[in-house]
Each structure stands twice: as structure tokens, then as C-alpha cells.
Amino acid sequence: MSTMKAAVVQQGEFSVTDLPVPTPGPGQLLLRVVRAGICGSDLHARSHTADLHALGRDLGYEAIMSPAQQVVMGHEFVGELVARGPKTKRSWTTGTRVVAVPMVKHGDEIHMTGFDVDAPGAYAEYLLVQEAFAFAVPDGVDDDKAAFTEPLAVAWHAVRRGEVGRRPAIVIGCGPIGLAVILMLKASGVKTIVASDLSPTRRELARRCGATVVVDPREQSPWTAYELKGPVGSVTELADFGLSAIGAMRKVPLLPWGRVMRAGEKLGAAPAGPVVFECVGVPGILDQIFAAAPVRSRIVGVGVCMEPDTVRTTLALNKEHEIRFVFAYDPEEFQHALHLIASGKVDPSPLHTGTVGLGDLTQAFTDLGDPEAHAKILVDPSL
């Protein structure tokens, strides 16, 4: 077991080659990869490697992949434990199925699995994970479902940061991450989930994942496809609401109308729009949302846009939109995503539309560009 098969990407092209099997260092586990997922960020990393490299350096991550390097991608995975490194718990037994936060530490340096030449990813027969970030897969969870732990953790983090509560949720874009967000919105008990996508296939998947209203934005606006509970949707309606409400209260003698108004705000009675999850990640989408979303909407940026974008901030300003961008998750959210799968509360099966071997990655990446062909493709290195 001195060498392994791995798919490397260099200058945007995949090739399958032989690489040394990694040796687990202190605090690390060696896994035999059983399944790996192809993420939208993998598509971006392959086609926009130079942009990703520049972005990483701006963020202080000097080791991020560059176009000239041969990198083993793949950060969504489930594997079987093969070996333990020094300073790991003896309770880990060979053959245990494991999922892990895709991050390893060599010495004092952190490396992102699948995006770094020093942290080869899961498009290979074997990979290293950090024991502190590793979680055993419960019995009864099949490999295909376990492989969705990482993307569901991303979605769970986005939903938590969105703090939807009793507000409606609108998901713009029903690619894999949008569908995962819908699954997590449903799991968290959100009653109104509006899903918007141009693709008939993805709209049907959105229904299967739990969307309560599904629209083709060319035929129906997602902003009018549900009942907005509350008196306002536009800036003028907000002003009219304020005029009417304050006018009525000030007619009551001795009523401390200012304190009543602030108390109403704390109780959630103030006008508020939906929570919008932007899951497309292409230039122009955010500006469209700013223009169309009701006043006081909360907008959660989930989609990865690798190109410069232009937005009219005055739209968001005048409507008092709240904007939150989200990235990844923390280890507890990762573990919770695994728990939701194991408990049956979340079933990612509708997203799984194909499985390929290492030699089929080029075609798989091409196929994922067609929304009618696939949602999520898994990689089985044994094929």
C-alpha cells in the first residue's frame, strides 16, 4: 500500500496518477475513501483557480492552490479508518466509517483539504483527516447519505445564521446548495419555503426536498408567490403604515405611544420582510434581490460568486435590508448535520443523481453544468 490512485487537477485539467499513500502524523487518521462529493466550489476552483489563489492570498491563506500545481481536490467525503497517527485515541478501530471537517494541521500550519497541495483531498483512494475534526458515522447510515454531511453542514450554518423564525424563507437558486438549504429549512420547522429556479428538474427536486411553494421566475415572481404576513411590502407602504399606526396611537390621551412602539418592536410586531437565501452566485443576482425583495428583508448570501459584482446599495439602504454572508460551518454544526441524517430527519437522497469513478471526473464536472442532467454527483474511487 505504498501508492494510490488519485485524480489531480492542473491548469484546469484532470488526470489520474499514482501518488504516495499519505502517512498520518500526530493527531491524524488515515481513511480509505468510500465516497466523495463534487461541490459547486470544486467547479469554481477548477475553472477559476487563479482567481481563487488571489482571493486566498488576500484572506491570508498563502498555501491555497494555484493553477500550476497538481492538486487532489475533494472536501466532501466518507471513508473507512485504515491507520492512526501518533497521539490519537486507541478507541478508534480499523474499519470505522468516518466523516470529517476538511482541514488538517501540519506543524503549526492549517491546510484546507482539497484546496491545497499539502492537504490532498478525497478524489483519491486515501486521505488524511484531523482526529479532532473526525466523527464516526452511526450504524445504519449508508455511505451515499453520509457523504452529504459536509454540504448539509454548510446549509445548516446558513439557516442558523438566517434566523428565520416565523418569517417566510425564499430560496433563490435550487442547485445543490439551494436544495440543501431547503432541506435544512424544513428540518428547522420553517412553515413557508418559497423556491425559485429556471430549471424544471431543479424545481421538482425543490418540491421533494420540502419547498412549500415552487416558482419559475420567468412566469411567476417569488416575491408574490406567497402571502406576506404584515402590512408592508414597499417603502411607501412602510411609510403609510407608520403614519396610520402613529396617528391612531397619538389620538389616545396620555398613551405613551413611543414606549408602545418600541415594545411592539421587541415583540416582533414591527414590519419585516422574508429571509432570502441567495444560492446562485452570479453577478447581478444580489442587485435583483435588492430591487425586488420587500422592505426589511434579511438577505443571506450563500452562493459563491467568483467574479466582481455591482450592486446599487441605495436600494438596500432605502429598504433597510439586512445582509449576511455565510461561509462553511463550525464542528458542532458539522456533527449536527450528521445527526440529522442519522436520525432520518433529513434525507439528502433526492440530491444524489449519479456516481462516477476517478477517471470520469472531467465528464462529471461538465455534466454538472447542465441543471437538467444532475444535482449532485458522488465519486467512488473503487470504480
Query: Looking at residue 238, what is its pLDDT?
Result: 52
Residues 302 and 171: their CA atoms lie apart, in Å, by 10
Burial class for 310, CB neighbours closer than 10 Å (0-12, 13-18, 19+): exposed
Query: Looking at residue 227, what is its pLDDT?
Result: 75
CB 382 within 8 A of CB 4: no
Q: Mean pLDDT check: name the lowest of 16-30, 50-64, 198-212, 336-350.
A: 50-64
For 125, residues 6+ apart whose C-beta sits below 8 A from its C-beta are 4, 5, 6, 21, 32, 33, 381, 382
State whether residue 159 is helix, strand or coil: helix
Closest CA to 96 of 142, 31, 26: 31
User: Residue 274 has which C-alpha cell?
Assistant: 422574508
- 54-71 pLDDT, tens per residue? 999 999 998 999 999 999
For the cut 60, the answer to whether the pLDDT of residue 365 exceeds it is: yes
If you average pLDDT over residues 223-245, what whole number do you get? 61
What is the reported pTM? 0.90
- 75-90 pLDDT, tens per residue? 999 999 999 999 999 9
Cα dist. 41→74, 76, 271 in Å? Answer: 10, 11, 36
For the cut 70, the answer to whether the pLDDT of residue 149 exceeds it is: yes
For the cut 50, the answer to whether the pLDDT of residue 231 exceeds it is: no
Q: Mean pLDDT check: name the lowest of 193-202, 271-280, 295-304.
A: 271-280
Query: Looking at residue 272, what is its pLDDT?
Result: 76
Q: Which ranges in 20-172 belong to alpha helices (H)? A: 40-47, 49-58, 143-146, 149-162
Burial class for 28, CB neighbours closer than 10 Å (0-12, 13-18, 19+): buried
For the cut 90, the answer to whether the pLDDT of residue 234 exceeds it is: no
For the cut 60, the answer to whether the pLDDT of residue 264 exceeds it is: no
